[in-house]
Amino acid sequence: MLPTPVTMRALRGARHLLRSCRLASSGAGKLVASAEEAVRDIPDGSTICVGGFGLCGIPEKLIAALARSGVKDLTAVSNNAGVDNFGLGQLLQTRQIKRMISSYVGENKLFEELYLGGELEVELTPQGTLAERLRAGGAGIPAFFTPTGYGTIIHEGGNVIKYGPGGAKGGKTEIVSEPRESRDFNGRNCVMERAITGDFALVKAWKADARGNLVWRGTARNFNPDCARAGKICIAEVEEIMPAGSLDPADIHLPGIYVHRLFKGEGYEKRIEKRTITSGTGEIKVDPMRGLIVKRAAQELKDGMYANLGIGMPTLVSNFLAPGVHIELQSENGLLGIGPYPSEASVDPDFINAGKETVTTIPGSSLFSSSDSFAMIRGSKVDVTILGAMEVAQNGDLANWIIPGKMVKGMGGAMDLVSSNSKVIIVMEHLAKGGRHKLKEKCSLPLTGKRVVDMVITELGVFTFAKHGPEDELPTLIEIAPGVTVETVRESTGFKFKAADPLRTMLEV
């Protein structure tokens, strides 16, 4: 049977479409003139995967163009939402985002207010799980199992995604998270997480060539490659576009096959959230109470260890290492080998730590994506994790990321870190405001991890915990602060404990 004119036209149309796709995938037609042109066809209700960590490496031109476009009802997948008036915070201000899928709320007050007020859907996801869900989506893997979040509301469900009328104060919820499937793999409990794909990915890179191959600089890589792979259409903004062949193939971080549109941005603002500089003297000023805690924590760090230090008091620990002890600090946003704070003249917005502080590198440092960072963590390559806490239970349960209905910081990378089989050390003040117990028989706040704490160090003493065996095994007070009695420790502690014999004094060992 000979083809009819109609079928011939259809065949020619199909061949033209196939040729167009091949041209696009090979690099032709990827360059666009502006951010406005790049986002022009993003419709209402789209899911967008947005790169960046804090304000480092965010696609600021694409976000601003989206804000001007008026597109609405977006689902934004991003580690966080910038700050109130910059980054994704702009789209929150204009109420263009319907749902955020993030790990961290942090210092964005508007983000927290919209969520607690019932105006924004928020699906909080552990940072490493978020990176892996994006990586899996880009790799065509529909789901995977991870130990992160087992025994928490991430696993068991019931976390509030959207409050009802009146917000959290109204006491009603409209959407809550569903329970995750769980399985035992070789004696280790894991939960199933589904991959994430987006209708569009918005990413920012340092350099590109005309084929769409991308190169990042410093810690600005973070979530960008993972978001790029997860987008059905990836739009990249860059600081420089070079002719094809100008980049060494070995230096390319993301192959152009993942990138569909590309443009050069001008006049980048690159705001810095926490401009942290060295004093130049090397002197670290710490009040005596905190000094006792962090100096004792430093004794747990041995030569050659890889360590991850949480935000706040934990970041001070590395300043008090014993002579001859050298460690490497790992940062969740993609840096191994964190150097000191920079001088004012050498501050670089492309180099930050997980606390959004400006940092430097050291000889032998390495840089990588967020998914690679959490592969190290989840794969038990980090020896020690030091974090703060709101509550620690007698059995080693930890809570440190949310006060339901009142305060939402997000879990960030903490759930991944404490489930990684690294040694988990908690540094904190012994009592909360008003003299409330933080060391409790059971945690009253949602858990970060179940039976994950190895040691707690406070201004009163040092406790060790049994992470395995009977849940009712008591913690042991192994050291006590100078001038403090065991009776004082008992009065300030909400669980029963054993006291070591002999009971040593902190920093005198």
Q: Which residues are catalytic?
A: 332
Q: Find out whether 80 and 109 touch, Cβ atoms under 8 Å.
A: no
**CA 339, chain centre distance (Å):** 20
SS (H, E, C) 170-233: HCCEEEECCCCCEEEECCEEEEEEECCCEEEEEEEEEEEECCCCEECCHHHCCCHHHHHHHEEE
- Do 294 and 459 meet the contact criterion of CB atoms below 8 Å apart? no
- Asked whether the beta carbons of 283 and 316 are under 8 A apart, the reply is no
Q: Measuring CA to CA, which residue among 230, 233, 232, 242 is closest to residue 205?
A: 242
Distance, in Å, from the CA atom of 328 to the CA atom of 364, rounded to the nearest integer, reads 10
Q: Are 208 and 168 in contact (CB under 8 A)?
A: no
Phi, psi of 399, rounded to the nearest 5 degrees: -130, 125
Q: Which residues pair with 329 in a beta bridge?
A: 307
* Contact criterion met (CB below 8 Å) for 221 and 253: yes
Pairing of strands 361-367, 407-408: unpaired
Rounded Cα gap, residues 102 and 115, in angstroms = 12
Q: Are residues 208 and 185 in contact, defined by beta-carbon separation less than 8 angstroms?
A: no
Token digits of residue 397? 């349960």
Helix%, strand%, coil% for the chain, nearest 5: 25, 30, 45
Please return the burial class of 77, using the count of CB atoms within 10 Å of its CB with bins 0-12, 13-18 and 19+.
buried
From first CA to last CA, the distance across the chain in angstroms is 93
Cα separation of 58 and 456, whole Å?
36
**CB 202 within 8 Å of CB 49:** yes
- CB atoms inside a 10 Å sphere around CB 95: 12
